Amino acid sequence: MMNIFIAGGTSGIGYALAVHYLSKGYRVGVCGRDINKVPKNNLNSLLVYEADVSIMSSIKTVLQNFLDGHKNLDVFINCAGSYAEDVAGQISYEEAEQMLQTNILGTINCFEVARLLMQHQKNGRIAVIASVSGILDYKKSSLYTKTKRSVINIAEAYHRALEPFGISVTTIAPGYIDTLKLRELNGHDLSKKPFLVDVDSAIKIIYEAIDTRKKLLIFPTKMKWLMTFLSVLPSSFLNVIMYRKAKWMQQD
């Protein structure tokens, strides 16, 4: 039976992916810092672990516990992410630290634990959720966007390094996905989120990309086109557009 592990799989996109893999008959484990987040819906077969991806020993231990006696790690997906808006507003030191720790250090820790296990197998799939915002390169982007841009770059480095070992790396750069977290961050009003995708549709697209070992998935298509258009604009112009967008999104 295939073994699938999802870091940051206790809610949102990660949890929905876990349910999707379970429905296909795979053995699935998830982790997060607060395991009480996992919906209570009789999914007895889902293996749930408490771990913080920004602490190497934490994620390493739960992965070892998950694989105990089972041979291969077939798929590892890192969905853990931290978000705070610092373009049109101010964020605290703790929020900034959390974003850097989870999004950058967490990403590296996840790649390391997964590749150490998969390397001798000469097979495996690793995926990481970045963000479509990380596709654009401009100076005044938010700290979140900069961390997600780093995720894309880190994943690209691992893609090249792991290819000779038969391990694929898929970077997912989604636009807005209608998760509870996105709703909470926006006062439960998603009317200003363009091209919003429902979780079920997003999961099918993400699953397919990982399954076919796609290198980079940017979706939905309309958001991808918008990014292609914006990416040809001068950085100074992008700074202005993105600042106005952030301000507009903050207004009621």
Ligand X SMILES: NC(=O)c1ccc[n+]([C@@H]2O[C@H](COP(=O)([O-])OP(=O)(O)OC[C@H]3O[C@@H](n4cnc5c(N)ncnc54)[C@H](OP(=O)(O)O)[C@@H]3O)[C@@H](O)[C@H]2O)c1
User: Which residues lie near ligand X (CB under 6 A)?
Assistant: 7-8, 10-14, 32-34, 37, 51-54, 79-83, 102, 106, 129, 131, 174, 176-177, 179, 181-182
Shortest spacing between CB 209 and ligand X, in angstroms:
14
Q: Which is nearer to ligand X, 33 or 121 (CB)?
A: 33
Minimum Å distance from CB 23 to ligand X? Answer: 18
> Would you say 118 or 217 has its CB closer to ligand X?
217
> By the 8 A CB rule, do 15 and 39 touch?
yes
- Closest by Cα among 166, 211, 176, 197 to 20: 211
Residue (3 or 179) nearer to ligand X, CB: 179
* Cβ nearer to ligand X, comparing 3 with 78: 78
d(CA 118, CA 123): 6
Question: What angle is formed at CA 171 by the lines to CA 198 and CA 202, rounded to 5 degrees?
Answer: 10
Spatial distance between the Cα atoms of 100 and 161, rounded to a whole number of angstroms: 23
Contact (CB, 8 A) for 13 and 199 = yes
If you write DSSP's letter for every residue of 166-180 in order, what string do you get?
A: TEEEEEEEE--B--H
Helices 56-67, 106-118: inter-axial angle, 10-degree rounding? 40
- DSSP E strands: which ranges in the chain? 3-7, 27-32, 47-50, 75-78, 124-129, 167-174, 216-219
Kindly state the smallest distance separating residue 29's Cβ from ligand X, in Å. 13
Q: How far is the CB of 165 from ligand X (least distance, A)?
A: 25
DSSP code for 235: H
Least distance in angstroms from the C-beta of 9 to ligand X: 6
Pick the closer one to ligand X by CB: 120 or 230: 230
User: Considering the complex, what minimum distance in angstroms separates the CB of residue 166 from ligand X?
Assistant: 26
Closest CB to ligand X among 122 and 215? 215
Asked, as a colleague might, if the bond just before 220 is cis with ω within 30 of 0, I would say yes
